[in-house]
Structure 1
């Protein structure tokens, strides 16, 4: 039965999605991180002390998360095989986000198709950090495709990968690392040193899952009749151009599969930031490419779950 857990988690995510609740495990993780940040972070401290404090926060969060999920696993095991199976599947589904990614992307695509640029700009601002007030259809599409593609790694494949390695506790330990990176892993004045340990740990933990995701994108591109050869070529050529050592593998392969170009000029608080180009502009970006990216994302999700189940059976 354990081998079916990744598939069951994907199924439950498709049915219930990501419930908005203050008791959601990832929400509770965020509250723990925020609490420890208030206790451990001091802006007046020097670089060394901030590095130490950030590393201590990271260690506590990972340790506490792992232990809680280890005890949850043991407690569920005492309740019988059926409750244990579906309990673990439900908790694992909270670490993955295919339905949330699809809903966000398809909502933006629908606004674009209805020429409702105001709502499209507003909604894309929920999923990206860049300025969105002046984006046209192509730039809104680019922002959405980049986000969905990038999150194939940390929102789907990486949690399943670590579940295969160490069960529910390690899958949630990964989610803790990723949540810390999203909260404090920034290269700005406040978090340059305090968040560095979390950012580096996230890079390390995502290194292999990112490259596995690239391979799964190729398989999904074959099944969905996209362009796997171009996906392979663009990933090998452009993935290393991304500022993240990992995100480029999913983004560049998706760009190649769809025949579009990602990257370009972004604005953050009015400041220009040029992101290296990935892929070639064979087609002009438009709403349909969001739908095609969501289809690739679901393909990668199913392929990842099947691969994880096969590994667990073996």
Structure 2
């Protein structure tokens, strides 16, 4: 019950405050730990595919397990000082593991200059939340990038941490964040990380497998409550959910495309190189700027639905034990 209450309070605080820039964030320290561990492992290991792969395995094991042990230890020590302090630390980290408000705020920073016709400012704003090249994007391209970011990050930034928080409290939620942060830093199929980042990428795929599919289902339900096309969201999800190199990325994104009645994804430029990616959804109408707030409304509704459903499942399990 303590964990469930901490997650509920953490979710509410995230909705209100988001992630204030002045507050130290666990993900920042995870990133620093990843950089230092990578530097150490590369210094100790020979530059061969086999050695780099096993170095990546060490990184993929040490960071999540270390995060789990450290956060559990801090919460335990805080609880020994006073139960209220232990609970406060739990709430703090539940709050910081979620990214509902920040996802909305960052993408609305893209929407505002688009409404004013300031394409340069919109490109700059969207470059902060996507990995693709943005300097040549049209207004429609910027809008699509923002919509895709909301849908894809709904799984990684909301439902996945929420699920792990509800299962195992802040320690398990932060362990997931460590896995996801690792993947975002080293999980690339380029010359530098093809072998070293493989374990992190596979671990992130495994950790996000169930949350991604739950995210799509919550999104489809949210479309029904927010005026989207829930039937089309279900149809497109069923058809296009596997049309991505990642087993997880197209799950909520395809549901979003169907709910809006637009076509998302497709070819995109990354670091000056064109990547041919399949499209998701049918172009029943052109993408328009108002799709950004529409997508955010669905994301917020799906987040609330996810919290209610996952909390109810935990409550039911507790009553059954």
**Equivalent residue, structure 2, for 1:303:** 305
Partner of 2:97, secondary structure, is coil
Q: What is the rounded CA distance, in whole Å, between the counterparts of 1:22 and 1:268 in structure 2?
A: 31
| Cα distance change on mapping 1:145 and 1:178 into 2, 3 Å | same
Q: CA deviation at 1:308?
A: 2.7
Q: CA deviation at 1:48?
A: 0.6
Structure 2: runs of 5 or more not aligned: 317-321
**Equivalent residue, structure 2, for 1:148:** 150
Q: Which has the higher contact order (CA 8 A, sep 6+)?
A: 1
After the TM superposition, which of the residue ranges 229-238 and 304-313 deviates more from structure 2?
304-313
After the TM superposition, which of the residue ranges 144-153 and 68-77 deviates more from structure 2?
68-77
**Contact 1:161 1:209 (8 Å CA) reproduced:** yes
Q: How does 1:176-195 map to 2 (within 5 A)?
A: 176-195=178-197
**Equivalent residue, structure 2, for 1:261:** 263
1:35 aligns with 2:36: yes
Q: What is the rounded CA distance, in whole Å, between the counterparts of 1:230 and 1:77 in structure 2?
A: 49
Q: How does 1:1-314 map to 2 (within 5 A)?
A: 1-2=1-2, 3-21=4-22, 23-41=24-42, 45-314=47-316
Q: CA deviation at 1:93?
A: 1.2
Please report the TM-score for the alignment, with normalisation by the length of structure 1.
0.96
**Contact 1:239 1:249 (8 Å CA) reproduced:** yes
Q: CA deviation at 1:21?
A: 4.6
**Contact 1:159 1:175 (8 Å CA) reproduced:** yes
Q: Where does structure 1 differ by over 6 angstroms across 4 or more consecutive aligned residues?
A: none
Partner of 2:267, secondary structure, is strand
Partner of 1:164, secondary structure, is helix
After the TM superposition, which of the residue ranges 147-156 and 19-28 deviates more from structure 2?
19-28
Q: What is the rounded CA distance, in whole Å, between the counterparts of 2:134 and 2:140 in structure 1?
A: 12
| Cα distance change on mapping 1:79 and 1:16 into 2, 3 Å | farther
Q: What is the rounded CA distance, in whole Å, between the counterparts of 2:226 and 2:82 in structure 1?
A: 40
Q: What is the rounded CA distance, in whole Å, between the counterparts of 1:207 and 1:253 in structure 2?
A: 16
**Contact 2:7 2:169 (8 Å CA) reproduced:** no
C-alpha RMSD of the superposition: 1.6
Q: Spell out, residue by residue over 1:9-66, the C-alpha distance to the aligned partner (whole angstroms, 9 max, x if none).
A: 1111122211225731110111111110110125961111001111111111112101
**Contact 2:212 2:252 (8 Å CA) reproduced:** yes
Q: Spell out, residue by residue over 1:110-132, the C-alpha distance to the aligned partner (whole angstroms, 9 max, x if none).
A: 11110000100111111111111
Partner of 1:115, secondary structure, is coil
Q: Spell out, residue by residue over 1:137-167, the C-alpha distance to the aligned partner (whole angstroms, 9 max, x if none).
A: 1110111111110001110011111122222
Q: What is the rounded CA distance, in whole Å, between the counterparts of 1:309 and 1:62 in structure 2?
A: 24
**Contact 2:94 2:169 (8 Å CA) reproduced:** no
Partner of 1:293, secondary structure, is helix
Please report the TM-score for the alignment, with normalisation by the length of structure 2.
0.94
**Contact 2:46 2:52 (8 Å CA) reproduced:** no
Partner of 2:58, secondary structure, is helix
Structure 1: runs of 5 or more not aligned: none
Partner of 2:136, secondary structure, is coil
**Contact 2:10 2:95 (8 Å CA) reproduced:** yes
**Contact 1:164 1:311 (8 Å CA) reproduced:** no
